[in-house]
Structure 1
Amino acid sequence: MITVGDVMNMRAFDRIWLAAPCEGAASREVVGVGTLDHEPFTGSYDLFERGEFIFTTLGFAAMHPDLAEEALLALIERDVAAVAVKPVALKALPEKVVAASAERGVPVFFYEGRYMERVIADLMNALDDDAAEWERNHLIDLMLAPSDEQAVRSTFFTIAGVTGATIQCLAIQAVTEDDASLRALQKVVEGVLAAYGDRWSDVERTFVCRYRAMILGFVSFKRPPLKAIAISDADLAKCIATAGPLVCGISQEVSLGEGDLALRQAMAALRTAHVEGGIVRWTTLRFDAFRAAARTDRLYARSADLMRSLLFDYDAEHDSDLGVTAQAFAAACGEVSRTAEALFQHPNTVRYRLKKIKEVLAVQDLTDRELAALLQLVYLA
């Protein structure tokens, strides 16, 4: 999404400033661009659309200042994203325009800079890039939804132009959370992965794009991996580390038709990387890999939620602590003494609660060890 703030930061401007206070100006969405070179012949401003960023010199109002006020009020009424005025004919806003701008939240700017055509061209390029990014995001969202392998292959080709036998995905975020850092990091990652592809003859293609608040990298290989963990796996991690400060999750190398799984693996590894720092490979995850799988499987998640809800509801009705006890017992791998230490309770108190947990879950026939195994599944996600 392109915002008014993004437009204000464009290099085509020498200077741009609010002509009058307008709360929330920078966050308004920009969906198009327009110009006002002359007063509409019909006196109607209906040709201007909501969300457009309008540029004007208001030159037609040089001899008739009232026309400037009329034009600006009409544009504000149309709920355009913003109006940028080159202060040639108009040096200050009329009071009615100031009031309307504040009331409707439509900012009016004065600007100095290059030819208006250059400013508009830069903004149109930004809008085109944003539209292309939105389309890629949409395709990736579709790919993360359940689909067959042929559909995944087709979607990957549309997104990244890859046709290889296998694919490996990277999910990357900059250390600082701002759009400028992410875009700069994207350029570096593109170069790093291109160099990686040049070094490995089995690489069919590399591709990098932005997806929401992260960067996604794709490495397509011409041949299937010879082992469960490809030889290139560790080298890819070393390679991406040269891109500079970042957090990154790297997937396992999988068949192209399972590329959606590689995406999920990379994103799950990225979550772990935010905790541990640096670069995390899916192939080195153990418990976190199963936790990620549990979180993304709706049937598993619903089953675990049912068990937790039974304990939560009982605790709410009886002012008890079966839920926290069950979770601690699972974390302690079924050891009563460790559970008691974690909860600062007597072991007999824990044993009593375990008996009550079995009753609530209707699994009275289970041994404590079997109950621990069940609860470890329940609290895995």
Structure 2
Amino acid sequence: MITVGDVMNMRAFDSIWLATPCDGAAAREVTGVGTLDHEPFTGGYEVFTQGEFVFTTLGFAGVHPDLAEEALLALIDCGVAAVAVKPVVLKELPPTVVQASAARGVPVFFYEGRYMERVIADLMNLLDDDAAEWERNHLIDLILAPSDEHAVRSTFFTIAGVTGATIQCLAIRPVTDDGASLRALQKVVEGVLADYGERWDDVERTFVCRYREMLLGFVSFKRPPLKAIAISDADLAKCIATAGPLVCGISQEVSLGEGDLAVRQAMAALRTAEREDAGIVRWTTLRFDAFRAAARSDRLYARAADLLRSLLFDYDAEHDADLGATAEAFAAAYGEVSRTAEALFQHPNTVRYRLKKIKEVLSVQDATDRELAALLALAYLT
């Protein structure tokens, strides 16, 4: 989605500023572009639609000053995304326009910059690029849905033009969370991955696109790696670090038909990097988090784990007990009663009593404490 804020960040402007305060101006969605070069004396303002970012010099106001006010009020009434006025004739907004802008939430800007045609061309390119990204997002969503390896290969070719034997994915977010930073980082990452491809003969193609609020980078290789962890794996992490401040998750190198797994791995590694403030995290270095991510993505596993946790939750609610917290702490302590007691600030005998009650609630009375710890570790993995 392109917003008014994205348009304000275009390089075609030397400067652009709000002519009047308007809450939420930068967040308004832009779906098209329009111009008002000549005042439509026939009252044809209905040609302007919601979502359009309208540019005008209001040149006709030099001959008919009253028409500038009429035109701006009409555009605001149409509910356009925003109006940008080059202050050639009009230097200050009439009070009625200021009031209408605030009331309808339609921002009016003054701007200085290149010829209007260049500004409009840049915005149209931005909208076209956004439309292409929307289509790629849709295709990536299809990849993440259940499908066979042939379909995954075909979709990856449509998205990125890759035809190699294997693929590696990077999920990246900028440190600054805004659309302009994401687009700027995309250009840098594209260059960094292109350089990486030049250094490794086995690289077939590199590609970067925006997906939701992150970047997805893809590196396609001509032949499979010799080992479970490719020798290029660590070098890819070092390479992407040169792109500047970012948070990144890097997948394992997998067959192209399993490219959906690469995307999931990269996203899971990114979540770990964000949670641990780790900068760059490789899936191949994850251990427990890898299994947690796998468990979360499996509906049957998630439902089985939720059943056990719900049994304890329901018991706690009915008896004002703390079996759920004890079970989770016991799993985190790998079955050690003393560590569990320390974590809960309880006496070890209190923990032992609760463990006995947990076995009763879960109908595993014959299980040893070690077996119970293993079961609870699975239940609280997600």
Once the two structures are TM-superposed, the CA of residue 14 in structure 1 deviates from its matched residue by: 2.7
Give per-residue Cα distances to partners, 1:278-325, cap 9 Å, x unaligned: 322211211111011011112211221222122122212222111110
Residue 231 (structure 2) aligns with? 231
> Which residue identity lines up with residue 174 of structure 2 in the other structure?
A
* Matching of residue 321 in structure 1 with residue 334 in structure 2: no
Once the two structures are TM-superposed, the CA of residue 338 in structure 1 deviates from its matched residue by: 2.0
> Which residue identity lines up with residue 250 of structure 1 in the other structure?
I
Residue 295 (structure 1) aligns with? 296
Residue 217 (structure 1) aligns with? 217
- Distance, in Å, in 2 between the alignment partners of 1:307 and 1:74 is 62
Residue 94 (structure 2) aligns with? 94
- Distance, in Å, in 2 between the alignment partners of 1:44 and 1:245 is 49
Residue 106 (structure 1) aligns with? 106
Residue 6 (structure 1) aligns with? 6
Q: How does 1:1-381 map to 2 (within 5 A)?
A: 1-274=1-274, 275=276, 277-381=278-382
Report the aligned-residue RMSD.
1.8
Give per-residue Cα distances to partners, 1:45-96, cap 9 Å, x unaligned: 1111101011112223333333222222221111000111223333332222
- Distance, in Å, in 2 between the alignment partners of 1:127 and 1:153 is 28
Aligned positions, number: 381
Give per-residue Cα distances to partners, 1:247-297, cap 9 Å, x unaligned: 322111111010000111111112222315132221121111101101111
Of residues 177-186 and 319-328 in structure 1, the stretch that sits farther from structure 2 once superposed is 177-186
Asked whether the 8 Å contact 2:9–2:180 carries over to 1, the reply is no
Once the two structures are TM-superposed, the CA of residue 41 in structure 1 deviates from its matched residue by: 4.8
SS at match of 2:218: strand
Give per-residue Cα distances to partners, 1:145-171, cap 9 Å, x unaligned: 221111111111111110011111112
Any unmatched runs of 5+ in structure 1? Answer: none
Once the two structures are TM-superposed, the CA of residue 42 in structure 1 deviates from its matched residue by: 3.1
- Distance, in Å, in 2 between the alignment partners of 1:35 and 1:89 is 16
Relative distance call for 1:312 and 1:87 in structure 2 (3 A) is same
- Distance, in Å, in 1 between the alignment partners of 2:113 and 2:184 is 25
Relative distance call for 1:107 and 1:287 in structure 2 (3 A) is same
Asked whether the 8 Å contact 2:8–2:16 carries over to 1, the reply is yes
> Which residue identity lines up with residue 34 of structure 2 in the other structure?
G
Once the two structures are TM-superposed, the CA of residue 225 in structure 1 deviates from its matched residue by: 2.2
Relative distance call for 1:186 and 1:59 in structure 2 (3 A) is closer
- Distance, in Å, in 2 between the alignment partners of 1:186 and 1:353 is 53
> Which residue identity lines up with residue 121 of structure 1 in the other structure?
A
Any unmatched runs of 5+ in structure 2? Answer: none
Relative distance call for 1:95 and 1:234 in structure 2 (3 A) is closer
Asked whether the 8 Å contact 2:30–2:81 carries over to 1, the reply is yes
Once the two structures are TM-superposed, the CA of residue 179 in structure 1 deviates from its matched residue by: 3.6
Give per-residue Cα distances to partners, 1:217-249, cap 9 Å, x unaligned: 211111122222222222322332333333322
- Distance, in Å, in 2 between the alignment partners of 1:331 and 1:241 is 33
Once the two structures are TM-superposed, the CA of residue 141 in structure 1 deviates from its matched residue by: 1.8
Of residues 103-112 and 236-245 in structure 1, the stretch that sits farther from structure 2 once superposed is 236-245
Give per-residue Cα distances to partners, 1:12-60, cap 9 Å, x unaligned: 2233222222111121111110011223253131111101011112223
> Which residue identity lines up with residue 345 of structure 1 in the other structure?
Q
SS at match of 2:47: coil
Of residues 281-290 and 310-319 in structure 1, the stretch that sits farther from structure 2 once superposed is 310-319
Of residues 102-111 and 230-239 in structure 1, the stretch that sits farther from structure 2 once superposed is 230-239
> Which residue identity lines up with residue 18 of structure 2 in the other structure?
L
- Distance, in Å, in 2 between the alignment partners of 1:15 and 1:195 is 34
Relative distance call for 1:114 and 1:237 in structure 2 (3 A) is closer
- Distance, in Å, in 2 between the alignment partners of 1:15 and 1:175 is 25
Q: TM-score, normalised by structure 1?
A: 0.94
Relative distance call for 1:99 and 1:213 in structure 2 (3 A) is same
SS at match of 1:71: helix
- Distance, in Å, in 1 between the alignment partners of 2:244 and 2:115 is 37
- Distance, in Å, in 2 between the alignment partners of 1:97 and 1:169 is 50
